Amino acid sequence: MPRYYFPLDSYPPSTTEIRQKTLNPKWNQIFQMTIAESKFFINGACLRISILDHDVVLFNDIAGEAFIPLSTIPKMSGSEIKHLPKQIILPILPVSHNQYGIEFMILKDRIHDKIAKEFCEYELYIKNYHMLPPLCNDTNEFRTEAIKTFDKRKKQIKTVIKNVF
């Protein structure tokens, strides 16, 4: 759980190009975020990268996530290509239900804290639907249909289990 949170209205999630028809995609894209230097080195501030598995038949789901502490990203000394920092290789970790421990429950109970509420809703959406929330502006995802399909299948499975036992 991050120690510092960048509000979604100030730092909206962004998406990159989709790698089609591959089980071993290589992501080699550039993206830019503007963060005030005063916030860049705050203890605990990190960049979260979520990897989506774009399905043809079913709905798109989160395959894993990676976190980069912002303090580990070196500042560029110029705008030329030779000044780019070294490539960062990150392990992609599956979404774990262990990340919703006591700290998360404390945040969830802060009903008058707008930022805590926004953070918890975002995290719970990922936990429950295994996909990014609609506010991520992923134009390649049909979220409404995916959620309906997911909820319908969940109900069907519950009905089958109920009838068997």
Token representation of residue 94: 């599956």
79 Cβ contact partners less than 8 Å away, ≥ 6 residues apart: none
Residue with tokens 């719970």: 124
Going residue by residue through the chain (165 aa), what tens digit of pLDDT does each one get?
A: 556 667 777 777 777 777 777 777 777 777 677 777 777 777 778 888 877 776 665 666 777 788 888 888 777 777 777 777 777 777 777 776 666 777 778 778 888 888 788 878 877 777 776 666 665 555 444 455 555 666 677 777 777 777 765
d(Cα 68, Cα 52) in Å, to the nearest integer?
17
- Counted residue by residue, the chain has a size of 165
H-helix or E-strand containing 92?
none
Q: Taking a C-beta distance cutoff of 8 angstroms, is the pair 59, 131 a contact?
A: yes
Residue 61's SS3 state is strand
Cα–Cα distance measured from residue 66 to residue 47, given in angstroms and rounded to the nearest whole number: 8
Q: Is the pTM of this model over 0.85?
A: no
Contacts (Cβ under 8 Å, ≥6 apart) of 116: 107, 108, 110
How far the first Cα of the chain sits from its last, in Å, is: 38
Structure tokens at 134: 């609609």
Handedness of CA 102, 103, 105, 110 (dihedral sign): positive
